[in-house]
Amino acid sequence: MANKEVRVLGAWPSPFVMRARIALNIKKLDYEFLQEQLGSKSELLLKSNPVHKKIPVLIHGDKPICESLVIVQYVDEVWSSGPSILPSDPYDRAIARFWAAYIDDKWFPSLSGIPRAQGEEAKMAAIQQVRDGLELLEDAFVKCSKGKPFFGGDSIGYLDIAFGCFLGWLRVTEKSNGVKLLDETKTPNLAKWAVRFCSDVAVKDVMPDTDKLAEFAKVLFAKFRAPPPSN
């Protein structure tokens, strides 16, 4: 039976919602997953996140916490006896936070830019931007992982979550545009990491199936003519 003490307001296709769920899974916490319907916002969502009116929202007892990366840090700090999500060294933490901010501020918008691009030239430019970003993240992976399987080291951490949540949408974008973005030849470490991330026990049940996500994308784009909202 789901624990009513911890609730997540979200939706299965949202990468931002996935971040919150992965964090809770890492800490082996039970939670109730309340799914919002596409195109409408529940009373609970509007009450819990009046500023942004967006998912995810973590409701712990009666306290709402909003913004996906704020939620991840909150989960890490409250359930501190579980496996750590953020590194313990201040500089490693700063590096993880820096790249997570880069992913949200620059890289994910560039990925969303591909379906929005008008015309072949703009599309190629958008694709290149995403690829350039992935090369930066490949370097970041080498530096952060220090030879270990994940950005966070031996197990998945903050930056793995911040980036890995987009792998489903990355694959959908590759399929619908007939391009390879995460290229084993150009970003070999990331390509291998992606497989490990998706099969991790904290991730595999919340990472959506690519075909199911592609179907959803068609509905979403038809309804709104835009990629999913960012948070």
Partner 1 sequence: MSEVKLFRTWSSPYALRIVWALELKGIDYETIFEDLSNKSQLLLQYNPVHKKVPVLVHNGKVISESLVIIEYIEDTWKDTPLLPEDPYERATARFWAKFNDDKLLPSIWQVFVTQGKEQEEAIPVATENLSFIEEDLKGKKFFGGQTIGLVDITIGWMANLISVFIEITGINLIDADKFPLLFGWMQNFSDVPVIKESWPPHDKLVIKFRAIRESYLSADVPK
Pick one of 17, 18, 57, 65: the residue that binds partner 1 (CB under 8 A): 65
Pick one of 5, 30, 77, 215: the residue that binds partner 1 (CB under 8 A): 77
Any contact of residue 46 with partner 1 (CB under 8 A)? no
For partner 1, give the closer residue by CB, 6 or 213: 6
List strands edge to edge, sheet with 32-35: 32-35, 6-10, 57-60, 63-66
- Specify whether the CB–CB gap between 206 and 161 falls below 8 A: no
CB of 103: closest distance to partner 1 in angstroms? 11
Rounded to 5 degrees, what angle do the CA atoms 97, 101, 107 make?
135
Please identify, among the stretches 3-11, 37-45, 87-95, 150-158, the one whose residues bind partner 1 according to the rule CB under 8 A: 87-95
Specify the length of the chain in residues.
231
Q: Which residues of 163-176 are buried (b: 16+ CB within 10 A; e: fewer)?
A: bbbbbbbbbbbbee
Distance CA 138, CA 188 (A): 8
Pick one of 2, 94, 122, 201: the residue that binds partner 1 (CB under 8 A): 94
186: amino acid identity, one letter: K
Q: Which of residues 173-212 bind partner 1 (CB under 8 A)?
A: none
For partner 1, give the closer residue by CB, 107 or 216: 107
Any contact of residue 82 with partner 1 (CB under 8 A)? no
Any contact of residue 129 with partner 1 (CB under 8 A)? no
Would strands 6-10 and 63-66 be described as parallel, antiparallel, or unpaired? unpaired
Distance CA 53, CA 46 (A): 5
Please identify, among the stretches 94-102, 115-123, 155-163, 165-173, the one whose residues bind partner 1 according to the rule CB under 8 A: 94-102
Any contact of residue 29 with partner 1 (CB under 8 A)? no
What residues contact residue 19 under an 8 Å CB cut-off, 6+ apart? 56, 68, 69, 71, 72, 161, 162, 165
Distance CA 140, CA 146 (A): 10
Any contact of residue 17 with partner 1 (CB under 8 A)? no
Any contact of residue 146 with partner 1 (CB under 8 A)? no
For partner 1, give the closer residue by CB, 79 or 221: 79
Any contact of residue 124 with partner 1 (CB under 8 A)? no
Binding site for partner 1 (CB under 8 A): 50-51, 60, 63, 65-67, 70-71, 73-74, 77-78, 90-91, 93-94, 97-98, 101-102, 136
